[in-house]
């Protein structure tokens, strides 16, 4: 099969287009012919070596964390999928590889593709949808009437999280540029802050939840807009010891996480705020819940650009530049 392969870690290092063996199928996996693959900043960060401690991948590696496609083969223990089924997924860590013509996905991480969506639209959903779900539903337990601050509202996670928070009945604040203000309001944002001219810390007060996706300075400021008992959930770090325990990290790696997050955890405790780091995980049952919301019209996919498969490196560079409104997708088939 044709695939785009990372041969050595390095920022902005090009992936090489090459022929690779089709993935070997395990008993609990489904082989998916990739029709479209979402592109995420996570792919660029793994390429640059930023997650080597957390995700010690062996190279060469096929990147890609979102897939929509058609089942072509199933493992012996697979019960709910058959060849010909249209599906979508965020493959598990250490089984990623959607920048290719085929990918093997655990049955438990797979879901039927939402009706009415194109393959490109479906491929834009899994990683950002599961990130928003695990942050707002699982960790924050966001409720009707609460206030949530979702940073970078025009990005991939932001566009989905705003819609999910609105569906849950929360008041939603976000940051974006003036040019995108009305657009993020149309997604469900109630309070829109122009990050170029306004300081969110001077606008927001007594929020229940913050979903942080920015740098350390923004993380610290986020503590000050939360009320006592609020929750600060960060998808951009620093990882905390609880995350190290969840992934079964070594004692050394867990110690590194403890040291990296000690400052924000200490400041959070001083304000009676719960800090947690989220590195989303594959989950087919949660994806089915997301499918129901999409099919009910509560959430719609937001795509900035679709690149042809041969332009995978250009798609990755476009995402890394940080200017995409919503998701970027590669059309493989």
The partner residues of 150 in beta bridges, in order of sequence, read: 174, 211
Nearest residue to 207 (alpha-carbon basis) of 157, 271, 257: 271
How far apart (Å, rounded) are the C-alpha atoms in residues 278 and 88?
22
For helices 216-223 and 251-270, angle between their N-to-C axes, nearest 10 degrees: 40
Tell me the pLDDT tens digit for each residue of 258-283.
998 999 999 999 999 999 999 999 99
Tell me the pLDDT tens digit for each residue of 157-181.
999 999 999 999 999 999 999 999 9
Residue 280 DSSP SS3? coil
Residues 118 and 143 in one domain: no
Within-domain flag for 148? yes
Is the distance from CB of 10 to CB of 299 less than 8 angstroms?
A: no
Instruction: Report pLDDT for 246.
Output: 86
Instruction: Report pLDDT for 261.
Output: 92
What's the pLDDT band for 87 if we cut at 50, 70, 90? very high
Residues 157 and 272 in one domain: yes
Tell me the pLDDT tens digit for each residue of 33-82.
999 999 999 999 999 999 988 899 999 999 999 999 999 999 999 999 99
Residues 115 and 226 in one domain: no
Say which CATH number the domain at 318 has: 3.90.180.10
Residues 93 and 119 in one domain: yes
The partner residues of 232 in beta bridges, in order of sequence, read: 210, 275
Element (H, E) at 171: strand 171-176
Within-domain flag for 58? yes
Residues 229 and 178 in one domain: yes
DSSP structure class, residue 100: B
How far apart (Å, rounded) are the C-alpha atoms in residues 239 and 54?
9
Instruction: Report pLDDT for 195.
Output: 92
pTM of the model: 0.97
Stretch 92-100: mean pLDDT: 97
How far apart (Å, rounded) are the C-alpha atoms in residues 234 and 219?
8
Within-domain flag for 289? no
* Residue span of the structural domain in which 10 resides: 2-125+301-331
Within-domain flag for 293? no
Within-domain flag for 102? yes
Residues 138 and 259 in one domain: yes
Tell me the pLDDT tens digit for each residue of 279-316.
999 999 999 999 999 999 999 999 999 999 999 999 99
261, 277, 293 - which closes a domain: 277
Within-domain flag for 157? yes
pLDDT over 70 for what percent of the chain? 100
Residues 233 and 311 in one domain: no
Residues 268 and 156 in one domain: yes
How far apart (Å, rounded) are the C-alpha atoms in residues 237 and 3?
30
Is the distance from CB of 116 to CB of 269 less than 8 angstroms?
A: no
What's the pLDDT band for 132 if we cut at 50, 70, 90? very high
Residues 101 and 229 in one domain: no
Within-domain flag for 285? no
Say which CATH number the domain at 230 has: 3.40.50.720
Q: Which two tokens stand for residue 252?
A: 């050394």
Residues 271 and 319 in one domain: no
The partner residues of 329 in beta bridges, in order of sequence, read: 38, 306
Instruction: Report pLDDT for 247.
Output: 86
Q: Which two tokens stand for residue 70?
A: 């058609």
315 exposed, middle or buried (CB, 10 Å; 0-12, 13-18, 19+)? buried
Q: How many structural domains are present in the chain? A: 2
Residues 94 and 133 in one domain: no
Stretch 108-116: mean pLDDT: 98
CA angle in degrees (0–180, nearest 5) for 220-49-158: 45
Residues 107 and 144 in one domain: no
Within-domain flag for 318? yes
């Amino acid at each position: 099969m044709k695939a785009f392969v990372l041969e050595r870690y390095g920022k902005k290092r090009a992936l090489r287009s090459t022929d690779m063996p089709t993935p070997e199928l395990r008993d609990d996996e489904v082989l998916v012919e990739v029709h479209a693959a979402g592109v995420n900043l996570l792919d660029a960060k793994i390429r640059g070596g930023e997650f080597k401690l957390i995700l010690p991948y062996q190279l060469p590696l096929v990147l890609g964390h979102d897939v929509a496609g058609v089942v072509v083969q199933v493992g012996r223990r697979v019960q709910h999928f058959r060849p010909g089924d249209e599906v979508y997924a965020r493959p598990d860590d250490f089984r990623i590889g959607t920048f290719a013509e085929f990918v093997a996905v655990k049955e438990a991480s797979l879901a039927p593709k939402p009706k009415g969506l194109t393959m490109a639209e479906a491929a834009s959903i899994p990683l950002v949808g599961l990130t928003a779900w695990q942050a707002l539903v699982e960790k924050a337990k966001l409720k009707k009437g609460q206030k949530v601050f979702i940073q970078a509202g025009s990005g991939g996670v932001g566009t989905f999280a705003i819609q999910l928070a609105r569906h849950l009945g929360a008041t939603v604040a976000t940051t974006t540029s003036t040019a995108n203000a009305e657009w993020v309001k149309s997604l469900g944002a109630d309070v829109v802050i122009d990050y170029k001219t306004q300081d969110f810390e001077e606008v927001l007060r007594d929020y229940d939840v913050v979903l942080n996706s920015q740098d350390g300075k923004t993380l610290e400021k986020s503590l000050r807009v939360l009320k006592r008992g609020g929750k600060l959930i960060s998808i951009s770090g620093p990882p905390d010891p609880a995350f190290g325990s969840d992934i079964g990290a070594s004692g050394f790696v867990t110690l590194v996480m403890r040291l990296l997050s000690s400052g924000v955890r200490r400041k959070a405790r001083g304000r009676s705020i719960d800090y947690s780091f989220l590195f989303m995980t594959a989950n087919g049952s949660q994806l089915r819940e997301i499918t129901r919301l999409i099919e009910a019209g509560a959430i719609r996919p937001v795509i900035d650009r679709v690149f042809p498969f041969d332009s995978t490196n250009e798609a990755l560079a476009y995402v890394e530049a940080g200017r995409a409104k919503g998701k970027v997708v590669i059309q493989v088939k």
